[in-house]
Amino acid sequence: MKFTKILIGLIAVGLMFSLNSCGKKETGPIKIGVLLPLTGHQANFGTMEKNSYELAKEEINAKGGINGRKLEFVYEDDTGKPDVGRSAAEKLINVDKVPMIAGGYSSSVTFAAAAVAQQYRTPFLVNTGSVDKITQPEDFNLTVNDGDKFYIYRMNPPVSEYASGLESLLSEVVKPKSVYIIHENTAFGTKGAKSFAKTAKKLGIEVLGQQQYSAGTVDFKPLLLNAKKANPDMVYMISYVMDAALLMKQAREINFTTPKLYVGAGAGFTMPAFKENAGKASDHVVSATLWHQTLPIKGAKEYYDNYVKKYGGDGPDYHGAEAYSAAYVVADVLTRCKGDYSKETIKKALDNTDMMTVFGPVKFVSYGKKIHQNKMKTYVVQWINGELKLVWPKNLANAKFEYPIDWKKVWAE
């Protein structure tokens, strides 16, 4: 009898402790990891994206946060290097104990971090890394039917689709007969060059040459002289911002004025730093883009203006819009988790995401070899009198596409 009374007492104490624990409401911030290049040669991109995450976070928290709790981003600097990105992802998961990671700028770093996230079954919302294999489960030893086992999600289009908006401009207006492709020898550059070569073949454009270069190259003149000798109608370049600026400055210096068009594949060619560093050589350069602040998307212009107001400068390009929108996707996902912020609950919420952001609609679907991939349109912009203008498609443009281009006149002192 005495033992029974003791046992009943212990059970009662245990129930009281359990009830108190269940009744305790979590009030601290919900921490989500963000992986970005905050130092190194890609820091311009990382800074713009971090600023955008912070801008969104402040707005989200001002409106009540996540079911009454603050949202907090824990940043890790990948420095633009895959091995650093891999270690940073491991730290976020195992030390900071975040239930989800967002961010991911360069393709090579993002793929390395994605492998870590997949290993630890941690949802990873990619907002910029674009090499196709990031959302191809076969590259993680899975199949397209293994969506329940695949933890990688991507908001932005894969690099193989970057030129889709450019195709109609080339076929309807420019009609080039030939192209010379120049690209950095990264995963992003190599895959992008291969994809555009296929696009060129489809459009009947002859590829006269394809040259790659290593990150950190400062003398592009030998490469550009080879391109000049080939005499292409168009030069297509896949480069990060400082390389993009040097390519155009040095094209001007060697008087490479024969192409009908200089085209960038997004990345460095849409950044304000491209104009600042290339100077006059940036004028009339065209680029594929994933976003522009004048697109008829609710909140796009407001985000752009608020960014300029807070951080100054020329304002964000599509990289900032990706990050800002990713923050809102994170908030939407966490809100729908209703207090259960386990990795599996977050993954299920990501599966069911269907929302509009300033970057455009976000819904993760499967097609071809890809799963958890958001499908989006792409556009064309042109640097005109120091401003990045949306020029294609024509019905959405905020400026007329300036063509044909007299490079001798444009580049004159």
On the question of pLDDT at 17 being above 70, the answer is no
Q: For the domain 161-289+378-410, what is the CATH code? A: 3.40.50.2300
What is the percentage of the chain residues whose pLDDT exceeds 90?
90
Of the pLDDT bands very low, low, confident and very high (cuts 50, 70, 90), residue 267 is confident
Determine the Cα–Cα distance for residues 68 and 73; give it in Å rounded to an integer. Answer: 16
Average pLDDT value for the chain: 93
For the residues 97-124, what does the mean pLDDT come to?
98
Determine the Cα–Cα distance for residues 375 and 122; give it in Å rounded to an integer. Answer: 23
Burial class, 10, CB count within 10 angstroms (exposed 0-12 / middle 13-18 / buried 19+)? exposed
On the question of pLDDT at 10 being above 80, the answer is no
For the residues 186-215, what does the mean pLDDT come to?
94
pLDDT of residue 25: 60
CA dist 215 to 238, 304, 355, 387, 396, Å? 12, 30, 37, 27, 35
DSSP summary character for residue 141? T
402 contacts: CB under 8 Å, gap ≥ 6: 284, 382, 384, 391
For the residues 114-129, what does the mean pLDDT come to?
98
pLDDT of residue 216: 82
- Reduce the DSSP state of residue 374 to 3 states and report it: strand
pLDDT of residue 5: 53
For the residues 72-83, what does the mean pLDDT come to?
98
**Any idea which of 107-121, 264-278, 297-311 has the lowest mean pLDDT?**
264-278
DSSP summary character for residue 99? S
Of the pLDDT bands very low, low, confident and very high (cuts 50, 70, 90), residue 215 is confident
For the residues 343-363, what does the mean pLDDT come to?
98
Burial class, 90, CB count within 10 angstroms (exposed 0-12 / middle 13-18 / buried 19+)? middle
CA dist 354 to 133, 208, 329, 364, 374, Å? 23, 43, 9, 8, 10
For the residues 221-234, what does the mean pLDDT come to?
97
Question: CATH 3.40.50.2300 occupies which residues in the chain?
Answer: 30-157+296-374, 161-289+378-410
**pLDDT tens digit sequence for 124-155:** 999 999 999 999 999 999 999 999 999 999 99
On the question of pLDDT at 7 being above 50, the answer is no
Share of the chain residues as helix, strand and coil, in percent rounded to the nearest 5? 45, 20, 35
**pLDDT tens digit sequence for 310-345:** 999 889 999 999 999 999 999 999 999 999 999 999
CATH 3.40.50.2300 fits 30-157+296-374, yes or no: yes
